[in-house]
Amino acid sequence: MRVALFLTCVNDLLFPDTGRAVVRLLERLGVEVDFPMAQSCCGQPHYNTGYRHETEPLVRGMAAAFAGYDYVVTPSGSCVAMVRDNYPRVAARARAEGRPDGRLDRAAETLVPRTYELTEFLVDVLGVTDVGAYFPYAVTYHPSCHGLRMLGLKDRPLKLLSAVEGIELRELPGAEECCGFGGTFAVKNSDVSAAMGQDKVRNALDTGAGVLCGADNSCLMHIEGIVRHEHAPLHTLHLAEILASTREQPYRPPVSEAKIR
């Protein structure tokens, strides 16, 4: 089984810890994981802002970067949704505009069935829900919209989290409501975006958990931005870092331990 890690551009630059956690986690589960250096961005920021034509080279680039692997695994539901829902559209709409491009067609055909969000890969492909993790903190989980609604991740993340030793999961009120990130929405409609994020943070604080966990760092970056702006006692963390944490190699919080309890 040849598995490629598609880390995503945001994680590569801003959240390398998540990438390291995915690698540690998958290697611990016996998966040999590779990181093709040619990867960059799935094109979602371009596509969702309206620049479909500018997305096309990135779609072709993704297909080239991940050719030959059995599975492409990524710790971002949003980027998987881009591939699964929108790559076929990018190809079909180029065709409809009289610019058929076989490489776009093939990119969609070959990437869609092989691209998995991390929790899908763990539960559906590897068939594990208990990954042997240890994380002795109170955690609340925010299901990001694209994972929740476009991919239908359902209870996969929560199954994985509830099997973690020592964890105390607390239900997030209004969990299924968007955090307000939405890519360029966060700046184009910054007031509404921030209002949504502030409500999300308030709901998370109400749980009393010190850690807000998610499976999409873009959303967490927005939420964390509000947390830090408001000096709220909350620490955001990607689910992969919780699953990677073990008794032998426990998660080391960048903030003081007391703050996340």
Partner 1 sequence: MNPPSTSQESQTGHGTGVFVGLPSFPVAARESTRDGQLRANLRHATHTIRAKRAVAIGELSDWGELRAAGAAIKDHTLAHLDHYLQQLEQAVTAAGGHVHWAADADEANRIVTDLVHATGETEVVKVKSMATQEIGLNEALAAQGIRAYETDLAELIVQLGDDRPSHILVPAIHKNRAEIRDIFRTQMAAWGRPAPQGLSDEPAALAEAARLHLRQKFLHTKVGISGANFMVADTGTLVVLESEGNGRMCLTLPETLISVVGIEKIVPTFRDLEVFLQTLPRSSTAERMNPYTTMWTGTTDGDGPKTFHLVLLDNGRTDTLADTVGRQALRCIRCSACLNVCPVYERAGGHAYGSAYPGPIGAILTPQLRGTATELDASLPYASSLCGACYDVCPVAIDIPDILVHLRQRVVQGGPVTQAGQRVTIKPARGHTTEHAAIRASRYAMGRPAAWAAAQRLATGTRKLHPRSLPIRTAKAWTDTRTLPQVPDQTFRQWWKQHTKNTNPDPGSTTPGGAR
Give the one residue of 30, 127, 187, 258 binding partner 1; rule: CB under 8 A: 187
- Under the phi-then-psi rule, with left for phi > 0, alpha for psi from -120 to 50, and beta for the rest, what region is 212? beta
How would DSSP label each residue in 19-36? HHHHHHHHHHTT--EE--
Tokens representing 150 are 């476009």
- Selection from 122, 114, 103 nearest residue 239 by Cα: 122
The yes or no reply on residue 71 touching partner 1 (CB under 8 A) is no
Site string for partner 1, 31-60 (x = CB under 8 A): ---xxxxxxxx-x-xxxxxxxxxxx-xx--
Which residue carries 């994981």 as its tokens?
A: 33
Shortest approach of partner 1 to residue 177 CB, angstroms? 5
DSSP 259: G
Number of residues that bind partner 1 (CB under 8 A): 77
Which residue carries 């360029």 as its tokens?
A: 184
Which residue carries 């009393």 as its tokens?
A: 208
Q: Which window, 67-75, 106-114, 159-167, 239-247, contacts partner 1 (CB under 8 A)?
A: 67-75
Shortest approach of partner 1 to residue 30 CB, angstroms? 14
Q: Which is nearer to partner 1, 40 or 162 (CB)?
A: 40
The yes or no reply on residue 28 touching partner 1 (CB under 8 A) is no
Shortest approach of partner 1 to residue 119 CB, angstroms? 18
The yes or no reply on residue 214 touching partner 1 (CB under 8 A) is no
Mode of pairing for the β-strands spanning 33-34 and 3-5: parallel
The yes or no reply on residue 95 touching partner 1 (CB under 8 A) is no
Give the one residue of 181, 204, 211, 240 binding partner 1; rule: CB under 8 A: 181
What is the layout of strands, in order, in the sheet containing 138-142?
Answer: 168-170, 138-142, 211-214, 235-238
Give the one residue of 84, 142, 222, 238 binding partner 1; rule: CB under 8 A: 222
Shortest approach of partner 1 to residue 165 CB, angstroms? 26
Site string for partner 1, 225-254 (x = CB under 8 A): xx-xx-------------------------
The yes or no reply on residue 111 touching partner 1 (CB under 8 A) is no
CB atoms within 10 A of CB 119: 26
At 100, is the secondary structure helix, strand, or coil? coil
How far is residue 199's CA from residue 174's CA, in Å, rounded to a whole number? Answer: 9
- Selection from 205, 209, 201 nearest residue 261 by Cα: 209
The yes or no reply on residue 29 touching partner 1 (CB under 8 A) is no
Q: Which window, 105-113, 162-170, 196-204, 241-249, contacts partner 1 (CB under 8 A)?
A: 196-204
The yes or no reply on residue 88 touching partner 1 (CB under 8 A) is no
